[in-house]
Structure 1
Amino acid sequence: MSDTPISRHVPNRQRVARRHSRLVDAALSRASTYAHPAGRIVRIETHISMVYLAGRYAYKIMKPVDFGFVNFVRLDARLRCCEAEIRLNAPFAGPIYRDTGELFLDGRRCRLRSRRGVRGNVKVIDYAVRMRRFDQRLLFSNLLAHGELGTDDIDAAATSLAASHRHAHRAGRGPMAPAARLGSAALLREQVLAALAPLEADPRTAHAVTRAGLRETCECELARLAQHLDGRRTNGFVRACHGDLHLDNIVRYGRHALMFDCIEFSDELRWIDVTCDLAFLLMDLRAHGRSAYAHRLLNRYLEATGDFAGLAALRLHIVYRALVRALVATLKAGSPARSDAQARAGVASRYLALAASEARAMREPAPWLLLCHGFSGSGKSVASRALAELSGAIRVSSDLERKRLEPFAPPSLEALPPSAYTHAALDALYERLVAHVRDVLNAGYTALVDATFLKATHRARFAALARELNRPMLILNFHAPQARLAERVNARAHGPRDASDAGADVLAAQLAQADPLDARERQRTVDLNTDVEIAAFSREPWWAPLFARMRAEDGGN
């Protein structure tokens, strides 16, 4: 390129930005800049922002950078971003976000103050998001690294995410609705291929991307799912989401999980299918070696939303999210001469390996249909939840779906009237379960149906579905002594309310009216004695008969 005024403008602008960043960094690293006791100040850097932990608060500034997808070079752009961050994060992490502060010159020194109620003319040089400081040890990423992230945290995250999606603004509805392009199949295609291209061009990642056939798989899935993706938008599942939901952006807050630092600078990255938002956290848990937590999160989210139809594109979204994280890690690695370049490259490789694994699953799905069969009190609900977490199966619960009064709503735990348990109502419920299971199997996931299946007609309906979709089916026969069944049913009636309404009278009717498994069904049955401690359900040895049967029928794989 010739040395024109235009070509000289870019490095000059970069030098100005670097000087500005040094000035701001020096100011915010001094306790005297703040209007409150700051103590020892801790700096946290990302590729587009800096965070300063000072006393009771944390302050986030946007770097004066232009990466194409985000441009914070102008001061007014940084102000708009700060104000948007306060507004958009309120639904996810309202207790954390406070207001926007301004960094201004006071003589030859810099000061920081809130913009609320500010009077007088000062030279403002930058803006900062002011947040309530929290214990960094409670970040999900740090809890996981120290072995302290628990199942309660995963359940809290699933509950928070489902609630935020349920109440989020929807594309195409209301004054907050975005342009029709946002959340579309065409835009997702552009985003996926835009993440792929630099990884294919970088010699550090090109071989892994090519070897896994990621471009071919993504292009095939994007074409196959285009109608599904646009249909999801039409049906209201493209919403104002978090958009950047990885483990560094979730914190344990009492008994809750707060999701902070959502995407505020790009409508294209924020107005997305709720499944794409969920996929980010699922992907990050798996990339950190916590597949069981990812399985639990997915099943708890589906229990809260019933959005089984969203599974169709889940693997594609997971691949996309893994590509984005691999790209970010590669950009952070920078030059091979950097001291942390090798570690960053290792992070990128981990995400690419996950993308490759999901791509294989998209090309070669091998789902099963597993029917839970047993009387109330047999332990099938507790056991099937544990099995879903161990295996990655998607659990579909009759108790929960019976009490889901409208789509994408959480199930009610209130007792239903007798009319909900007539023969006609039960037949209608099982037909809804069939529809959900069809979605699960067509998406390439194993479906685990938690229902009593005490009537031969209901079992036959699912057997017909398995034949139609050419999927193998097994019946999991959960059984325990009758005295133990009665004991569990009575204990549940006096314990915390759950989704089941079954009491002693229901159990008695089941025992008297159940259709026994016939000879053909017995050939497809695995017997599981649940007269054991509940903890046994979460251990693989208890499931050995099932896993052995599945491996044998899969050809020993």
Structure 2
Amino acid sequence: MPHPPSRPEQTSSPTLEAKVAFLGRPGAYPEAPARVEAVETHMSWVFLTDTHAYKLKKPVRYDYLDFSTVEARRLDCEQEVRLNRRLAADVYLGVIPLVLDAGGCLSVGGPGEAVDWLVQMRRLPAQRMLDHLIRNGTVKPAEISLLARRLARFYAAAAADAITPEAYRQHLAKRIKANLRELTSAEFGLDKDVPERLARFQLGFLETHTGLFDSRVRQGRIVEGHGDLRPEHVCLLPEPVVIDCLEFNREYRILDPADELGYLALECERLHAPEVGRWLLESYTEASGDVPPAALLHFYQSWRAVLRATLAIWHLRDDGRHPHKKWVETTMEYLELAQRHAAAAAS
């Protein structure tokens, strides 16, 4: 089916504020929901109806992505649907145009010019999301085993990336250095000592344990994964689904499953449920036969914690929408986790 024409980004196009206001109304949707809940994220607005979720990308541009045009957002929406169907085939329903008709009225689908694009998803039960289950203390080992087996099949089916051992280590070093630049920037006013010590450790570990990383590459373990495997993206249905992969930059999805699973275990630990992470890693090893060395897992968890610290401190740039104290405390919490796992990797 051909797409309706996308309008170039012009001052005469509806503003983001106008689009958000329209999509916040129940009458905007063909299913005529009783109410709509709007949730703002760093790069999107998500509109939750009784049965569906609709994601609208913000017209933002950063070093690592460019959503500044309608066409760029359409392409990213299509990429998001394609990639997320790998682990949530029945959740991602498709891409729908946000249309401006001849009378100047917006509609979801229908005739007219596409002034933006929406990812349409089936709404998942909030009470079955892993972060909710952890907070309620109701996660069962059998459910995590099902998740681990699902992820083991996903990684086993993925083609090994053509990256060389040296390029893989350089990729990790590049991201470690990028985290250091952000966390020691005068813009944020953080104490530089902890980020600098962590970066020295992580870069030193890459140099002194090249064999650990090189063997993972030579075993074909480096694949195109999910990229953002966190408890809030996992829904423990009878067949577990994982949503909201990192779709906008393939480089960030090229990874070691031990890195990605260690990341999910780290986030469970942060939610005071380290046992969930242990169940996950043990079940993955049993299902896959992959036994990543403990020191390597702790290294990955250390660098992921620093990455999460960086993402947390970036919230201070969001036009004052988020309380300064909250994000500084979150940053320090992740840096503490990073130090804990660095110590474990070194022991």
When residues 205 and 131 of structure 1 are mapped into structure 2, their CA distance, relative to the original with a 3 A threshold, is farther
**Counterpart in 2 of 1:226?**
210
3-state SS of 1:93 partner: coil
Query: Is residue 235 of structure 1 aligned with residue 219 of structure 2?
Result: yes
**Counterpart in 2 of 1:507?**
none
3-state SS of 1:100 partner: strand
Q: 1:125, 1:292 → 2: CA distance?
A: 47
Larger radius of gyration: 1
Cα deviation digits, residues 487-516 of structure 1 (max 9, x gap): xxxxxxxxxxxxxxxxxxxxxxxxxxxxxx
- Aligned counterpart in structure 2 of residue 340 of structure 1, from 315, 323, 331: 323
Query: Is residue 124 of structure 1 aligned with residue 120 of structure 2?
Result: no
Are 1:275 and 1:310, in contact at CA under 8 Å, matched by a contact in 2? no
* Residue 193 (structure 1) shift: 1.6
Are 2:315 and 2:322, in contact at CA under 8 Å, matched by a contact in 1? no
How does 1:250-265 map onto structure 2 within 5 Å? 250-253=234-237, 255-265=238-248
How does 1:134-145 map onto structure 2 within 5 Å? 134-145=124-135
3-state SS of 1:262 partner: coil
Query: Is residue 206 of structure 1 aligned with residue 195 of structure 2?
Result: no
Aligned-partner residue type, residue 175 of structure 2: Q
How does 1:320-399 map onto structure 2 within 5 Å? 320-334=303-317, 340-363=323-346, 365=347
- Aligned counterpart in structure 2 of residue 184 of structure 1, from 143, 148, 168: 168
What is the RMSD of the two structures over their aligned residues, measured on CA atoms?
2.6
**Counterpart in 2 of 1:399?**
none
Cα deviation digits, residues 409-428 of structure 1 (max 9, x gap): xxxxxxxxxxxxxxxxxxxx
* Residue 72 (structure 1) shift: 0.8
**Counterpart in 2 of 1:94?**
89
**Counterpart in 1 of 2:141?**
151
Q: 2:116, 2:296 → 1: CA distance?
A: 41
Are 1:17 and 1:64, in contact at CA under 8 Å, matched by a contact in 2? no
Q: 2:17, 2:279 → 1: CA distance?
A: 45
* Residue 87 (structure 1) shift: 0.9
List gaps (5 residues or longer) in structure 1: 1-13, 173-178, 366-557
- Aligned counterpart in structure 1 of residue 67 of structure 2, from 72, 79, 95: 72
Aligned-partner residue type, residue 206 of structure 1: K
**Counterpart in 1 of 2:155?**
165
Q: 2:305, 2:68 → 1: CA distance?
A: 28
- Aligned counterpart in structure 1 of residue 299 of structure 2, from 316, 327, 337: 316
Aligned-partner residue type, residue 222 of structure 2: V
Are 1:183 and 1:268, in contact at CA under 8 Å, matched by a contact in 2? no
Aligned-partner residue type, residue 136 of structure 2: H
**Counterpart in 2 of 1:45?**
40
* Residue 137 (structure 1) shift: 2.5
Are 2:306 and 2:338, in contact at CA under 8 Å, matched by a contact in 1? yes
Q: 2:50, 2:153 → 1: CA distance?
A: 32
Cα deviation digits, residues 275-301 of structure 1 (max 9, x gap): 111121011011222122222211111
Are 1:329 and 1:345, in contact at CA under 8 Å, matched by a contact in 2? yes
Cα deviation digits, residues 423-444 of structure 1 (max 9, x gap): xxxxxxxxxxxxxxxxxxxxxx
Runs of 4+ in 1 over 6 A off after TM superposition: 14-19
Aligned-partner residue type, residue 155 of structure 1: S
3-state SS of 1:127 partner: strand
Equivalent pairs, count = 336
Are 1:159 and 1:301, in contact at CA under 8 Å, matched by a contact in 2? yes
When residues 153 and 182 of structure 1 are mapped into structure 2, their CA distance, relative to the original with a 3 A threshold, is farther
3-state SS of 1:294 partner: helix
* Residue 189 (structure 1) shift: 1.0
* Residue 30 (structure 1) shift: 1.5
**Counterpart in 1 of 2:21?**
26
Cα deviation digits, residues 152-207 of structure 1 (max 9, x gap): 332222222212111123213xxxxxx66997111111012212221122323534
When residues 339 and 241 of structure 1 are mapped into structure 2, their CA distance, relative to the original with a 3 A threshold, is closer
* Residue 83 (structure 1) shift: 0.7
3-state SS of 2:60 partner: coil
**Counterpart in 2 of 1:546?**
none
Aligned-partner residue type, residue 91 of structure 1: R
Are 2:268 and 2:274, in contact at CA under 8 Å, matched by a contact in 1? yes
Query: Is residue 274 of structure 1 aligned with residue 270 of structure 2?
Result: no
Q: 1:264, 1:222 → 2: CA distance?
A: 27
List gaps (5 residues or longer) in structure 2: 1-8
**Counterpart in 2 of 1:84?**
79
Give the TM-score normalised by the residue count of structure 1.
Answer: 0.57
Give the TM-score normalised by the residue count of structure 2.
Answer: 0.89
Are 1:326 and 1:347, in contact at CA under 8 Å, matched by a contact in 2? yes
Are 2:77 and 2:117, in contact at CA under 8 Å, matched by a contact in 1? yes
Q: 1:18, 1:125 → 2: CA distance?
A: 7
**Counterpart in 2 of 1:484?**
none
Are 1:159 and 1:300, in contact at CA under 8 Å, matched by a contact in 2? yes
Q: 1:327, 1:287 → 2: CA distance?
A: 16
* Residue 317 (structure 1) shift: 1.3
**Counterpart in 1 of 2:106?**
110
**Counterpart in 1 of 2:5?**
none
Q: 2:232, 2:93 → 1: CA distance?
A: 20
When residues 309 and 181 of structure 1 are mapped into structure 2, their CA distance, relative to the original with a 3 A threshold, is closer
Q: 1:16, 1:340 → 2: CA distance?
A: 32
Percent identity among equivalent residues? 26
Aligned-partner residue type, residue 46 of structure 1: T
